[in-house]
Structure 1
Amino acid sequence: MPEARIHALHGFIGSGKTTFARRLEREVPGLRLTSDEWMVALYGQDPPAELFPVYHARVMAVMEAQWTRALELGVPVILDHGFWTRESRDALRAKAAALGVPLTLYALTLPEEEARRRVRERNEQVGTLYIADATFELFRARFEPLGAEEEAVPIPSPRFSLEMGDAGSPPM
């Protein structure tokens, strides 16, 4: 059985986080928690913009209760969220240290135009969180790339490999 460990994904909308998280879920194996899926299940594909922050905070709180309990039970977790800010990444590092579990941060990057294309394509699918072009822009301004001193495993864009097999194996 794999050890309790946090596998966290850093990347902007459309960078391939969920695709990679699903791969990790199978390979680790571990409990995958994807915030967008929870948002859609609880609040629909296009929750009202004015309620989105409240809904999102609720989802994140419930997910954190689940993933911390899973770690206490010895289950690896895959956090498919994005960790867009340095503050959120530092908080995750502190949480991992407090829980006494290793943390692996994966960095997924993609050219902006390709990310936009993917998001528009994804918006056409049933069961996905709708991201309007204006929302993409709003969120882009909130995204903070990793600092030079932040350790992360770089994951090549799946646009170059449909199977993601070229991304290498994650540390277990």
Structure 2
Amino acid sequence: MPGTLHVLHGYIGAGKTTLARRLERELPGIRFSADEWMVSLYGVDPPESEYRAAQERVRGLMERCWRRCLELGQHVILDGGAWKRSERDHLRAAAAEVGAEFRLYALSLPDEEALARVLARNEREPGHLHVAENTYRMLRSQFEPLGEDEVVEVVPPALTTAAST
């Protein structure tokens, strides 16, 4: 019996990793974090000129692994933002290809609160992928909201704070 693909949609600092870790424990499931893989392979602040190619390599490797986990009946939690509709559609199709269920979680916070979380994380947890304030603001335009036809589970902000885990 194929598993379930759990996809988190939210911008930087919305609490995706906190929720992903919670799901990993409670389901239980296998969590895949592109940021963690990036840090392990390329360091906390990879060069901008190489970032996109490195990220694509990491996502490709992860997808081969998580697809197999779904085939084996596992819960798979993708700890990423699923920022673009095309990415979410790809993930839905990938889950369907192996007969897995697909669950989409919507996380959001006001930008200033999310940015404050990111900057605090940069200081508190130096082993995480570093996100500078200008990077946070620059990338915002690449974040696509969910479509009205996308079925989601809305996650209250109280469940995405580190204290709630």
Range class of TM-score, shorter chain: over 0.9
Structure-1 separation of matches of 2:130 and 2:18: 17
- The 5-angstrom pairing of residues 49-128 of structure 1 reads 49-124=48-123, 125-128=125-128
Give the deviation of 1:53 after TM superposition.
Answer: 0.3
* TM-score for both structures, normalised by structure 2: 0.94
Structure-1 separation of matches of 2:76 and 2:88: 16
Residue 16 of structure 1 contacts residue 158 of structure 1 at CA under 8 Å; is this kept in 2?
Answer: no
Show the counterpart of 1:169: none
Give the deviation of 1:132 after TM superposition.
Answer: 1.2
* 1:80-132 superposed Cα distances (whole Å, 9 cap, x missing partner): 11100111011111111111110000000000000110110111122100011
Structure-1 separation of matches of 2:69 and 2:154: 26
Residues 38, 158 of structure 1: CA spacing in aligned structure 2 closer, same or farther, 3 A cutoff?
farther
**What amino acid is the match of 2:59?**
M
User: What secondary structure does 2:60 align onto?
Assistant: helix
Residue 2 of structure 2 contacts residue 99 of structure 2 at CA under 8 Å; is this kept in 1?
Answer: no
Aligned positions, number: 163
* Structure 1: segments with no counterpart, 5+ residues: 165-172
Show the counterpart of 1:140: 140
Give the deviation of 1:158 after TM superposition.
Answer: 3.2
**What amino acid is the match of 2:67?**
T
Structure-2 separation of matches of 1:123 and 1:67: 28
* 1:6-48 superposed Cα distances (whole Å, 9 cap, x missing partner): 0110100000000000000001101000111111111000000
Residue 84 of structure 1 contacts residue 144 of structure 1 at CA under 8 Å; is this kept in 2?
Answer: yes
* TM-score for both structures, normalised by structure 1: 0.90
Give the deviation of 1:3 after TM superposition.
Answer: 6.1
**What amino acid is the match of 1:80?**
D
RMSD, matched Cα: 1.6
Structure-1 separation of matches of 2:9 and 2:49: 25
Show the counterpart of 1:15: 14
Q: Which runs of 4+ in 1 moved over 2 A?
A: 158-162
**What amino acid is the match of 1:85?**
K
Structure-2 separation of matches of 1:40 and 1:113: 25
Give the deviation of 1:133 after TM superposition.
Answer: 1.5
Structure-2 separation of matches of 1:42 and 1:157: 31
Show the counterpart of 2:164: 163
